[in-house]
A and B are shown apart, each in its own frame.
Chain A
Amino acid sequence: MAGELVLLDFWPSPFGMRSRIALAEKGIPYEYREEDLRNKSDLLLQMNPVHKKIPVLIHNGKPVCESVIQVQYIDEVWHDKAPLIPSDPYQRAVARFWVDFIDKKMYELGSKIWKTKGEEQANAKKEFIECLKLLEGELGDKTYFGGESLGYVDVALVPFYSWFYAYEKCGDFSIEAECPKMIAWVKRCMQKESVAKSLPDQEKVYEFILQLKKVFGIE
């Protein structure tokens, strides 16, 4: 069932982290391959010709592209351990709605926070916090979005935590001060080995952002 499993990835990518977490939750061995995005491998270009992006999950030589699809695929193929996607169809629809929401908002708003200044940055910060508050509402009093165990929404969202320090430094604000429930949830997730091992150190991500800012000529 396992076959040959390769993950083409890039260490700071929150999308790559999603697949890392899913594979770790289920204890599935795989080969991790770091891509240099300024010099993409032939394998990456062959396996994802449409977007040429990471992460790409290669299972028995066949590519699965897009992190949310990878997580669903991993959950389906290795369904006997640590199920991530709800078994009830309505709960599944709710989870998919929130993953779609996270995909539409988090990366773009986060990028604006570190890339822009002035009014554009201020608006991005405001909207970012609003989104986190909506997610806090969905979490409610649950331990995880998935209930008592890590679920699809948790896996989709928690990787962005590794970028929070970078957002806070660039945007000069505190996410914990605005969204304490979110940070409490993050801390619960980080106690899980599958999450802690899959997320890079926040300071390392911040250094990476500073380098990117230099390269793009952003102050």
Chain B
Amino acid sequence: MAVVKLFGAWLSPYVFRVIWALKLKGIPYEYIEEDLSNKSPLLLQYNPIHKKVPVLVHDGKPVCESTVILRYVDEIWPQNPLLPADPYDRAVALFWIKFADDKSPIIAKLYRTEDEEQQAVVKEWLEMLEAMEEHVLIGGKKFCGGDEINMVDIAFCMIAHWLGVIEDAAGLKVFEPHKFPRVSSWIQNFKSVPIIKYNLPNTDKIVAYLKRRKEMLLTSKSN
């Protein structure tokens, strides 16, 4: 049986996307924790272009970029499919996954930006929340476009779990639940799925880490 390895980092939403996909499909894997400040030679060998996690290694062959990995996992192990079978529905799902992918790195910066730059990041967050509220969740289903958890839900995971911790680290509230009722319900539904519920990073640990990083970045700026 082919061996599956996953190179990851404890706080990365991109890594968790892959963990959830593998667990939802019941795929056993070996997890290798990377110290992102001291990346292993193996990681750099498997992902020489971006030098990032997650990297999935299947039977010795590396797959990089979380969405590329998700699609690969979904195709190799078709049980509990994460994308629609119909080509048009799949195109719509991929559109929203790309939307979430394009927004995620920008919104992560909330905790380490200030003033105008931070306001621009807040704007991006609100755009993402509005898109979810008014488009993605409009069908009234439990999850994004369906009754079962799928790749679109996984792609929006930053909103479900990391938004709160980034807000805490930034000392700024962006998400007002009463303004986004569909998103609020979706967050509850998403985090109630056992595989998600029991596979989430510790929020206190992330907040502490982000606050330390923020201090380091601000100190180096003023020096």
Question: A residues bordering B, Cβ < 8 Å?
Answer: 49-50, 59, 62, 64-66, 68-70, 72-73, 76-77, 89-90, 92-93, 96-97, 100-101, 134
Interface contact B91-A64, CB-CB below 8 Å = yes
Q: Are the C-beta atoms of B88 and A93 separated by less than 8 Å?
A: no
B36 CB to closest chain A CB (Å) equals 19
Contact B99 A50 (CB under 8 A): yes
Total CB contacts across the A-B interface at under 8 A = 55
In the bound complex, how far is the Cα of B94 from the Cα of A96, in angstroms?
A: 13
- Interface SS, A side: helix
The interface-forming segment of B37-45, B65-73, B173-181 is: B65-73
Cα-based distance from A72 to B99 in the complex (angstroms) = 16
Say yes or no for B63: interface residue by CB 8 A criterion: yes
CB of B75 within 8 A of CB of A89, answer yes
**Chain B positions 44-69 with a Cβ under 8 Å from a chain A Cβ:** 49, 58, 61, 63-65, 67-69
For residue B71, which residues in chain A have a CB less than 8 angstroms away from its CB?
Answer: 92-93, 96
With A89-B76, A92-B75, A93-B71 given, is the CB distance from A73 to B65 under 8 Å?
no
| Dominant SS among interface residues on chain B | helix
Verify B72–A73 contact, CB threshold 8 A. Answer: no
- 4 closest cross-chain pairs (CB), A and B: A93-B72, A76-B87, A73-B91, A96-B68
A65 touches which one: B61, B65, B95, B131 (CB < 8 A)?
B95
Does B212 sit within 8 A of A, measured CB to CB? no
Shortest distance from the beta carbon of A54 to any chain B beta carbon, whole Å: 15
Q: In this assembly, does B23 line the interface, its C-beta being within 8 Å of a C-beta of chain A?
A: no
Residues of B within 8 A of A64 (CB): 88, 91, 95
Q: Knowing A50-B131, A66-B95, A69-B95 touch, does A90 contact B61 (C-beta < 8 A)? A: yes
Known pairs A69-B95, A70-B91; list 7 more (Cβ under 8 Å). A50-B99, A50-B135, A68-B98, A69-B94, A89-B76, A90-B61, A97-B68
The distance in angstroms between the C-alpha atoms of A117 and B87, with both chains bound, is 44
Docked Cα-Cα span, A75 to B107, in Å, equals: 33
Interface 1/0 per residue, B130-152 and A, CB below 8 Å: 01000100000000000000000
Query: Which of B64, B90, B91, B135 is the one whose CB lies under 8 Å from A97?
Result: B64
Contact B49 A93 (CB under 8 A): no
A sample of 10 cross-chain residue pairs with beta-carbon separation below 8 angstroms, ordered by A number, consists of A49-B135, A64-B88, A70-B91, A72-B94, A73-B88, A76-B87, A93-B69, A97-B68, A100-B68, A101-B49
**B88 and A59: CB pair below 8 A?**
yes
Can you name the residue of chain B whose Cβ is closest to the Cβ of A96?
B68
- Complex CA gap A17/B135 in Å reads 28
Contacts of A97 in B (CB 8 A): 63-65, 68
Residues from chain B with a CB closer than 8 A to the CB of A93 are 63, 68-69, 71-72
A72:B91 contact, CB within 8 angstroms:
yes
The complex places the Cα of A146 from the Cα of B98 at a distance, in Å, of 23
Q: In this complex, what residue of A is CB-closest to B76?
A: A89
CB proximity of B21 to chain A, nearest CB, Å: 14
B91 contacts across to A, CB distance below 8 A: 64, 69-70, 72-73
- The winner among B61, B69, B72 for most chain A CB atoms within 10 A is B72
Most buried by B among A66, A93, A96: A93
Contacts of A66 in B (CB 8 A): 94-95, 98
Check A62–B72 contact: CB distance below 8 A.
Answer: no
Chain B residues with Cβ below 8 Å from A77 are 87
B203 CB to closest chain A CB (Å) equals: 29
A188 smallest CB distance to B (angstroms): 24
Complex CA gap A65/B199 in Å reads 33
